Amino acid sequence: MLSDLNIKVDSSVFYSDTHSGNTFPFFYGFNQVHRINDIIEFPVINGFNSNGLLKKFDPNSLTETEMIDFIQQMKSRDNFTCAQLMFHSFSFIDQKPDDNKKLYWSSGSHNAYGINQSLMKRFETVLDFIHNEQDIEVITFEDYIKRNIPHQSFWGDGIFNSNTDKSKNAASRFIADRLNKTGLNSFEELNMKLSFNYMMLNRYFSDEEVVLLAQEITDGQIIVYKRIEPLSFNIPNFDWNVSYSNIPNTFQLYLHSLNFLQILVRAYELKRNVKYLKVAYELIRSWYDFCSKKENISENKYVFCDHAVSLRSDNLIYFAKVCNDHAYWDKNMFDMIKTILEQNGNWLSDEKNYTKAHNHGIMQDKALLHIGFCMQNIDWIELAKKRLSEQKKAAFNEEYVHTENSPAYAQLVRKMFLDIADFLEANRDEFGTELRDDMQKVQEYINWTIKPNGFIAQVGDSSNPIGVLCADKSKLVRHSKEVHVVYPITGQYFFRSNCDTLPQNDTWKFVKSGYSNTTHKHADDLSFILYSKGYEIFTDSGIYGYNNDIFRKYFTSALAHNSIIVDNQSYIVDRKHMNCVGMAHHSFFSEYDRVSVFNNAYQGVKINRDFCSYGDLTILYDYVESDEYHVYSQLFHLAENISVVSLSNRSIRLKVGDSGYYVDILQFGDPCRVQAINGDLSIPQYGLISRTENHMDTTTTLKFDMVTAYGFFVTAIAITNAEGYIYLKDEKKCKINDLKYDNKNLSIKILDICVDSSYSDVDFDKVVKSTTTIQDKNCLNFKLDINKPYLGRLEFAYYLYKDGEVIEKRMYSLATNQVFDIKQKGTYRIKYFLSYDDKKKSYFGDTIEVK
């Protein structure tokens, strides 16, 4: 309309005026000049007065001191080229009634009683200031247009305030409250109902770090991840394919996640330095230009991968929301952000890109929810919720234990679901409440994985702080009055003594064997961790990182865990071998606990471990069996503050930091030979520990070797004080010499308590099952299953009966499977014999009719 009338200039109205009638689809920014088609729009300058109230730059709204203060702040802004002083039709009229004043005229609700001299003086004082300032030139709109002065960047406006604490605080917490909702494409229309306190964003940097890091980025040092050093860059020539750091894949992942936005945007929120947002925008544009070439996307797998797209979406929404809230916004920015989010949403919703049964898939669903609500795409919202229901089933088993083999990822995934629950509840979606209830049950498990020092168990790809013994005091708590819990389906057992004066000095034990998912899985079946007296004693060797190199191979192998290995090799961890490991059974007796775990993943070898826990005493019954001779090794990986005091094949003493306590390891079983192996950072072998990604240090590994076909390690691990006492339960205590080993019954007697092995109470009448099947019509297949580990040498013999007569005999061996050729019709049956500890028993299998 204005351009049709050849009018070249317009002026926007007061920013918070609910009667503005402004129907532009965007408020193009705050306190800045913009060109809209052929019209130049000059804004009414807004800012906070001395009382912290948002006011116009107008003599009716501000004192002369506040107006002069506004002008000084305008001059100090980068790229701030012009401003207009706003007047209304009645600006200088005295409208206050008074018995001594004459009413000159009326216009609607306005009455004129003369000239307001104080307003005139205020106006003249400001004019005098402007006239005397050499840096200010007063011109008309027409002159401004003729000079063709470049319009200021939308980064150059800022929020003006007078120099009082109230106004500064108001400016600092300013969130743009646009009340005009007539535009259909404005970002506030898109981010709608979102309650952005940014509970949804996975932050990688603390508030204490971001301001310093943001300054580094503005100085040309890009930062994307805590454990990767900064990379020098300049935006015009930035290489988005750069291979950098000793973990280049991780760098590329977080680079294309645009993780630097977290630093720059949060630093702006804390310090209100608009340069941080400006650099963020320039980097986004550089990335956007890079992605405009299809070959760049196809050649770099990190531009579009589940983790990067998910995190990038949240980072972009965070950036866009803060820019929008603080009035740093224009159409070009809107179009670019909207295009990227639409592209990300389409990619995330495509099933061929979706990662099922994995925390990365949950990241995708979380990001798709955010984009869906942001852009009001109901289909994306419903798809994300449907997927999340399936992800929850896959992420946690019926014991509410996370299936990704790592307590750190259990915490991460639980928090992801809780963040999603917060988000959905903020948007009044009942699915959020369902998620929250389930995550409370998950937390009960996670609590057990937290060691008494407040740090989570370093299992699978979990991390611990480097060189830190204890977490913050608030985390040094006992989460349960119970001293033990077992998760038999998962194959995990926990013990916590709950009896020390200080919680961080409790004794804590953890045993695991079994898995239902290979994600973050190490070859750690049969492994255990022991913590006591303020120190980790036997530790999991750690995460190392995700690079596929020889060190990663070591840290994920059985060699890096407190377990039993065969011939100095690890075993296969895949879906085919899931049933080869697990927990056989457990018993909680009045004095001690016994859990039995097994690992049959080594070809031709069976390994069973009884883990018996009795206060500060732990007893291991480790039975190994094979048809052939092997080198079996029992491993103990010492934590950093544990040192060897004395060492022999039968007895080892360890010192537990400066606690005044010791650990005595006694070997009662078959003969074995011990080595104390110190680590070498150049060799991926024993004696290494990694507390987090990109970290490695040396420690000591104790390795007991036994060469046999079958045999027993019987090991007592006692935590003793300076007087040599071991605390058992309640007021009970004993000394090392009070431990008496009974080889015949495979048990250790401690005072009046006998801690025995599960191998000593096997009733083969109950635990041996046989099955007979016809195979290929010409063969009879006979199989024995023994569902409980047993002590000693067990051998089997077989008789094949036809029509009641023995037609074939097979003598004693270790074989539990037999195949017999069938040449004639008849009634067949197999009799099998067990030879066990000089005792023999016989049983008949099923009767099979062959026609």
Express each pLDDT in 528-558 by its tens digit: 999 999 999 999 999 998 888 999 999 999 9
- The pLDDT, as a whole number, for residue 240 is 97
Between CA 14 and CA 20 the distance in angstroms is 8
pLDDT of residue 197: 38
If residue 167 lies in a helix (H) or strand (E), which one and from where to where?
Answer: helix 165-172
Residue 195 in this model has a pLDDT that exceeds 70 = no
- Per-residue pLDDT for 178 more than 80? no
H helix intervals, 229-305:
248-256, 260-271, 274-291, 294-299
* Residue type at 732 in one-letter notation: K
Is the pLDDT confidence value at 216 over 70?
A: yes
pLDDT at position 13 is 62
Helices vs. strands in the chain: H and E counts, helices first: 18, 39
Judge whether residue 329 has pLDDT over 80: no
**Could you read off the pLDDT of 768-823 as tens digits, one per residue?**
888 888 877 788 889 988 765 555 567 889 999 998 889 999 998 888 889 998 88
pLDDT at residue 217 is higher than 50? yes
Query: Exposure string (b/e) for 371-400, b if CB count within 10 Å is 16 or more?
Result: bbbbbebeebbebbbebbeebbebbbeeeb
The answer to whether 564 and 526 are in contact (CB under 8 A) is: yes
Q: What is the helix (H) or strand (E) element at residue 208, kind and residue range?
A: helix 207-218
DSSP structure class, residue 93: B
Largest alpha-carbon pair distance within the chain?
Answer: 137
CA angle, corner 715, sides to 709 and 717, nearest 5?
A: 155
Closest CA to 95 of 58, 53, 55, 60: 60
Helix axes 407-426, 378-395, angle to 10 degrees: 150
The pLDDT, as a whole number, for residue 17 is 57
Backbone angles phi, psi at 198, to 5 degrees: 55, 40
State yes or no: pLDDT of 447 exceeds 90: yes
Rounded to 5 degrees, φ, ψ at 837 are 50, 50
Mean pLDDT of all residues in 113-117: 88
Tell me the pLDDT tens digit for each residue of 449-497.
999 999 999 999 999 999 999 999 999 999 999 999 999 999 999 999 9
Indicate whether 25 pLDDT > 80: no
d(CA 810, CA 182): 91
Radius of gyration of the chain (CA): 37
Please tell me the distance from the alpha carbon of residue 412 to that of residue 418, in angstroms, as a whole number: 10
pLDDT-derived band at 201 (thresholds 50, 70, 90) equals low
Collapsed DSSP state (helix, strand, coil) of residue 335: helix
**pLDDT at residue 479, as a whole number:** 95
Q: Which residue type occupies 570?
A: S
How many other C-beta atoms are found inside a 10 Å radius of the C-beta of residue 450?
22
Report the pLDDT value the prediction gives residue 791, as an integer from 0 to 100: 52
When comparing pLDDT for 648 and 73, which is higher?
Answer: 648
pLDDT digits (tens, 9 = 90+) for 151-163: 777 776 667 888 8
How many beta carbons lie within 10 A of that of residue 679, not counting itself?
20
pTM listed for this prediction? 0.70
The pLDDT of residue 110 is: 83
pLDDT of residue 185: 41
Going by pLDDT thresholds of 50, 70 and 90, the confidence category of residue 182 is: very low
Written in H, E and C, the secondary structure of 664-701 is: EEEECCCCCEEEEEECCCCCCCCCEEECCCCCCEECEE
Measured torsion, CA atoms of residues 57, 58, 60, 61, in degrees rounded to the nearest 10: -10
Cα–Cα distance measured from residue 396 to residue 438, given in angstroms and rounded to the nearest whole number = 10
pLDDT for res 186: 44
The answer to whether residues 819 and 826 touch, using CB atoms and an 8 Å cutoff, is no
Across 64-79, average pLDDT: 88
**Res 721: pLDDT:** 96
3-state secondary structure of 653: strand
Note whether 457 and 451 are within 8 A (CB).
Answer: yes
Above 50 in pLDDT, residue 834?
yes
User: Does the pLDDT at position 301 exceed 50?
Assistant: yes
Element (DSSP H or E) covering residue 394: helix 378-395
How confident is the model over 694-734, as pLDDT tens digits? 899 999 999 999 999 989 999 999 999 999 999 999 889 99
CA 190 – CA 414 distance, rounded (Å) = 28
> CB of 725 within 8 A of CB of 738?
no
β-bridge partners, 701: 637, 677
Q: What is the mean pLDDT of the chain?
A: 89
